[in-house]
A and B are shown apart, each in its own frame.
Chain A
Amino acid sequence: MSNRFSCGTLGLAALLSLAGFSAGAAQSGTSPDDNCTAIEGWFPHDQTPEPDSANFTPDSACSFHRWSWQMFLWLTQEVDGKPRFLSFQSPYTLLDLDNRSSMLPRLEKSASPRALDEYLQAGTEGIMIDQNGRSLYYSQYLNDTFISFIQDQKLLDPEVVRQFNPQTPFPVDTLELKASWKVVMPGENTDGFFTMPSSVYKLVNRDGAIVVDDTQPIDATLALVGFHIGGVVKDHPEMIWATFEHKDNAPDVPATFDADTLISDRDWTFYKANTPYSGCNINPAKSVELKLDEASQTLSPITQICRRYAFGNDPNQTTQSVPTNIADVKRLNSSVLSQLSGEDVWSNYFQVGAIWFAPGATLEPNMTLATDTEDGKQLLTGSLKLSNAAVETFTQSQSTMNNCFRCHNTLQRFPPTTSLDPLPGLNLNISHAFVNLYFWSQELAQQKKAGTN
């Protein structure tokens, strides 16, 4: 296990020495950074430059949060009448499909918004049900670097993947994104939300489960409520994982609470006033209580969201091995938001936090990333309890799932059905888009062979 640290430590020490920082005071940081504010050149929003991931040279934890904010601003810049990220391709693009089967997400090759069909939260198959009884929907986006890497390395061939060097990481500049969307009801006030006309697939009761019917897209206006960024920067093949939310999503759980604590006395987008903590973040996915009314497309019971860790760290944290960066994130948020125009819809979103590998920790195959430390050394740093309340609603509290790396690890993966082959433990498994592509490509090959596609 110790080799995960030794190689990276040398390289980083040299880098930091050149930069004039000691390793101890650099990436991990020993106290909140009073200067963790926005960079002047980011504004106005329409001129935010793309972050220089290839030359990423962190001088504190704040550097990672800054990269995250700058990336968010760049991705949300309007290009050809829509935010830049909407022009990115979906993982399904890589599979070159025109229509999805019952098992495969639909491909939309055209630039027009495609129907959203993801409604289960990662990891727990949880359905997040908003105050109107509608499911949240999710969409994924990959940048050209990601796409090109997969294509150049021929990683849509499962056999190539199985023989691929497990140590090979994604290249710098790789980006994968995930957005969560709320269905806007007629007459519903969407001031302050980024919205877009789109479509979602109808949910139906089938075979004892609630599934999408990909033959029945429904026109809908969608409002963005959550946004994930995973990106590779220099010396961080594990990616910086950052997440953003709309400011009105849900109330924060106080530092001290119990099951009976009333989390807020006002309504939020995903919270009814005076709901106690015990009523928050309940995932009914396996319960007999989960119901879908197909006609109205409403589900029950409604999910009351409480944001368990306001800025991705535990305010009660007593150990200082990883100083809380809550103050950094709050200061940076305040700085950025104060410099965005009040007319800019993106000024209503904030960074929850970001997480990355601690100095010396090196991405390797078969890492579980189940704990923040390994062999007594810090493995993860930054926002150690980072969840997006509108993307990972149901896994905010569990120490086994309460940050991005708990699931974004490099372990082997078993396939969803026994007719497929498993995925060995690779550094590339850090990306769930890659993992999904590996299995989808096998399913696609089987379907083509069977003549069903």
Chain B
Amino acid sequence: MSNSIFRIHPAINFGRVGNSDDFYLAPETAAGEVLDKTSGLFGGLPIQPGTEDRPIDAQALRDASQNVVRQAARYRIFTYSAEQHSYPSEDPGREIKVGDCIDGKTVTDIVWTVHLANKKNNNFKITSGNGQEEGIEAYQDNATPPLRNPSYGNSLGDATRRTRLVIDAGPRAIRATDSAQRVIAFSADSPCSYSDANGAIQPLPDYPVSFPGDHFQNLNPELGCIKSLGDLRIEAGTGRLIVAGGFGEAFSFVDADGKKPTLENAIDNDGWFDDVADGPVDAMILFDDGSAVSATGAWFVSTDPAYAPQTRNVVSTWDDVFSTWVEELALIPSLFSNGEYNPDYQASFNQDILPVFHGAFLQRWNTNLPAQGVQGHNWVAAIKPSDDPKAKIPNFQSLIRDPNASEEDSQGVKMPLALGDAQKSFLSLTRTQYFLMMQWYNGKSLESGAPLGAGEKLDRVVLENCLGGRYSPGIDLTFIVRDINLYQQPWQGVTGPLRINRKPLNYAATTRSQPFLDVGYVPLRSTPVEPGDLSKFMSQPWHTDYNSCAVHTPDPNPSANNTLYWSWPAQRPVQVHPVDACTFDAQRKAWNLGGQVFSIRGDGEGAENLTHTNLPQNEGRYQRYIDFMHNWHKTGFIIQGSQIADGQGGDYGSDKFLEVASLYSANGDIVQPWPTSVTPTKSDA
């Protein structure tokens, strides 16, 4: 028996939909992190498939047919020599591959199993019965928001709902030594299978696979038909697992009374499926002595495309997860214990402070920040670990919103200057981020903290590339990341931190006549997590929320502020600098930055352009959700200029982040510098 511990990393990873069969690999570096001080290359770029870490360039974002290339998630197995009782792990771990010798035994194979489902339609609405987005507050005191698709039954456990409203592709297993380079689809016509406890792949011919077309007529077939939730394969030469998600398709269906659905809500649209999904990633490691050991499992989530992969969110999903783990799950007792932060804790400038400043610094490429804002962000991004914080920021508290001071939630002059979480007007740093910033400001910081092992670094980096802070509902994951019930506890020991509290799935008990998946995870309850339970809290479908979330007034808006702010510009770019607007300075042999357009800007001129509006509050989006459903794949991507060939033997320079690969043919409405404000409508009069 092996004494070593095995864990799959990253603990959670993300696929992103695209309408191409092709894929690139999810980034394994963090947006906002300078990877190379000489070239100025920032992290966050996806990786070219078939390479260890070569970042993609502009050509890789679309395939030869100009379709959006999907982002696939890559998983590896790390071995640790002892149980974990601190974070970072004292043992940094090492990746294992087939042929490696561990505890005197040779790894002969790794059998991976992944199970994907989409449970959005058999879940609660995001919006509470009172019309408010309350986030996790809606689940307090055993309450829940109303159900989606109530015509199909009034209980999530209803067998009809679980059968018809859940897309369950079932599990698929694959061997690392699979020599055929097979691609196994999560589709109805691909047989289900899983790895048993001995690492043998067992077929599941009676698994109750469920796709929308099995139960409903598709009312909008031009938007796709959702016959697959993605696919998996083995990375050639490494035995790592690669999981890709869906294709950005949507499927609409009538309610139980035969009534056709509408598409008028930003986040809760009954009668609409999309093809994102999530579920567990498992692995059995097989040895030459015939033994098999399971690895601590991971999770896969597919979500919106990464339209600006290098733009870091000032508050990332990592920041929310980290704060939760620090404050509630004793991740780092020397930082927080007994309900208090340690006033003597030394923050890490590079890990805790610079990411915030670089996040702010990068916002300009996805927003219409005026020059003054850009200058301010440039200023803080240039602060060095050796600088005196008080000389660089004379008054910290007038600059950064204090998340511990609720009265500052509505103060629209402090940073971060973006829209806030449910029931909060403006975005705040997490309490942990703010504490660490204050430690630095008060001279209690080191240049770098304790290094993470490669596996734990992957766990962190993946979540650093996702949106945090504003979960209404968000883009990648939502407020559930702050619920300790989502996570496996206790984490100390074999499991390690940041693992999803997965439900054991007994595939031997499957029957075709009964849905396999149950209600699953409900926030603030201890029910374990099933496939589909993470993505089900996101917008239904994702497209409407993406289209909607350009600029808004604060909500709540106690001071009657009519100024328009961005929702989540790092993940959903609003105003961008298209590469075509750059001009070449032959004298300097460098490219000049050009003007801005809206990222979503449509085709055609004037009123013929379906994004056109006379109302600033509606700019930068299609005026009808259905039109974005038809055109989402035309939206361009923002990447660093050094990754964009200029056709003259050079590139556009690492000092710019430019929009490329947009298929919109129009310039759209004029982009004005922030701030813009609401124009009254006739209904306001």
Contacts and interface: CB of A to CB of B under 8 A. Distances in A.
B398 interface: yes
Nearest to A255: B685
Contacts of A276: 614
Interface string A382-401: 00000000000011011111
Judged by DSSP, the binding face of A is loop
Contacts of A125: 370-371, 673
A283 B380 CA distance: 28
Interface of B: 368, 370-372, 375-376, 378-380, 382, 391-395, 398-399, 411-413, 559-563, 575, 578, 581-583, 585, 588, 592-597, 614-615, 667, 670-673, 675-677, 679-682, 684-685
Contacts of B368: 286
A285, A414, A416 — most chain B CB neighbours (10 Å): A414
Nearest to B678: A397
B560 A415 contact: no
A411 B411 CA distance: 14
Contacts of B588: 207
B578 to A, nearest CB: 7
6 contacts: A208-B592, A288-B667, A398-B675, A422-B394, A425-B395, A425-B398
Nearest to A409: B413
A209, A258, A284, A370 — most chain B CB neighbours (10 Å): A258
A412 B672 contact: no
A414 B379 contact: yes
Interface string A194-238: 000000000000011100000000000000000000000000000
B391, B394, B582, B676 — most chain A CB neighbours (10 Å): B394
A104 interface: no
Contacts of B560: 399
A295 interface: no
Contacts of B583: 208
Contact of B671 (A123, A278, A287, A301): A287
Contacts of B582: 208
Closest 9 CB pairs of A and B: A208-B592, A278-B614, A288-B595, A259-B614, A424-B394, A398-B677, A414-B379, A418-B382, A400-B563
Contacts of B378: 418
B614 A398 contact: no
B684 A258 contact: yes
A411 B667 contact: no
A260 interface: yes
Judged by DSSP, the binding face of B is loop
Interface in A140-184: none
A441 B480 CA distance: 52
Contacts of B413: 368, 370, 400, 411
A207 B585 contact: yes
Interface in A424-441: 424-425
A283 B561 CA distance: 20
Contact of B379 (A258, A289, A401, A415): A415
Contacts of B593: 208
Interface in A51-109: none
A144 B391 CA distance: 32
Nearest to A209: B592
Contact of B411 (A209, A286, A287, A368): A368
Nearest to B396: A412
A398 B466 CA distance: 31
B597 A288 contact: yes
A209, A394, A397, A411 — most chain B CB neighbours (10 Å): A397
Contacts of A286: 368, 370, 575, 595-596, 671-673
B598 to A, nearest CB: 10
Contacts of B372: 123
Nearest to B417: A400
A100 B517 CA distance: 73
A366 B393 CA distance: 12
Contacts of A340: none
Contacts of B675: 395, 398, 400-401
Contacts of B382: 418
A282 interface: yes
Interface in A238-275: 256-260
A412 B395 contact: yes
A422 B392 contact: yes
B412 A370 contact: yes
Given A368-B413, A394-B672, A288 B578 contact: yes
